[in-house]
Amino acid sequence: MYHLLFLLTLTDFAPMAFQDLIDHLTYRLSQPLPGFAAHLTMASQSRLKWLMEGMDSSNAKKSGVLILIYPDQDGPTTVVIQRPDYDGMHGGQVSLPGGKREESDATLIDTALRETQEELGVPSASVTVIGTLTELYIPPSNYLVLPVVGFTREKPKFTPDPVEVEKIIEIRIGQLSDPSYKTTQEINVHGFVLTAPCYTIHGATIWGATAMILSELEQVIRTS
């Protein structure tokens, strides 16, 4: 009955009780994940082509990103960041806080927490980790990314690193399941135009690996 009531609340996009969401996610992240099937729902045309051709991630660099969930006045919320528009593969794009594993990181969970502290000023000790989603390979940059899910009891006081973060974008968890925030767009990536499903929230276009990870989070939340 608990899971049914929770899912009805999510489907109606009403504000969700924060602790109910954390309890549900803690349970669901201990169960089998939708993984590949969830990623496909937000995969671009180029990503689908790579999938059909087969991708070898055996020599990929490892990285960790954090889905940080915290309470806010409109319900449970998470955060993504827009990178500065530098002359690089992911310049100007929207991503989850995180980055490449360093030698000092014991695990990729430590990577995600460290990078979030460096980029957003959220102390690692304030985050309670409740699980991970499915690893996702990013062919253009040859990274294999582990999405870590954690929460704080209070909304963090963000102090973004201006070198790493152009803009903070807060996403109410219910927005991920609301079709009015989803569309398909043509996206120009350094002169190459591709068509991709995306979330459009607060004027930001969230596509690619970040959208695929959030899509799995959405499906995990929606299932009992």
CA-closest candidate to residue 34, choices 136, 112, 121: 136
CA-closest candidate to residue 65, choices 159, 166, 149, 187: 149
Q: What is the pLDDT of residue 1?
A: 32
**Does 165 fall in a domain?**
yes
Spell out a b/e string for 170-190, using b for 16 or more CB atoms within 10 Å of the CB, else e: bbbbbbbbeeebbeeeebebe
Q: What is the pLDDT of residue 190?
A: 74
**Does 152 fall in a domain?**
yes
**Does 57 fall in a domain?**
yes
**Does 188 fall in a domain?**
no
Strand partners for 100: 63
**Does 186 fall in a domain?**
no
103-157 confidence digits (pLDDT tens): 999 999 999 999 999 999 999 999 999 999 999 999 888 999 999 999 999 999 9
Residue type, 35: G
**Does 197 fall in a domain?**
no
Distance CA 23, CA 143 (A): 31
Distance CA 46, CA 54 (A): 12
Report, as ranges of residue numbers, the positions in the chain whose pLDDT lies below 70: 1-16, 52, 86-91
Distance of CA 187 to the CA centre of its chain: 19
pTM recorded for the entire structure: 0.90
Number of domains in the chain: 1
**Does 200 fall in a domain?**
no
Q: What is the pLDDT of residue 15?
A: 52
CATH label of the domain that carries residue 147: 3.90.79.10
Distance CA 107, CA 182 (A): 33
Distance CA 10, CA 5 (A): 9
Strand partners for 148: 66, 132
* Domain boundaries, position 143: 2-177+208-222
| CB of 111 closer than 8 Å to CB of 96 | no
CA-closest candidate to residue 202, choices 177, 169, 179, 174: 169
Q: Are strands 204-206 and 192-201 parallel, antiparallel or unpaired?
A: antiparallel
**Does 101 fall in a domain?**
yes
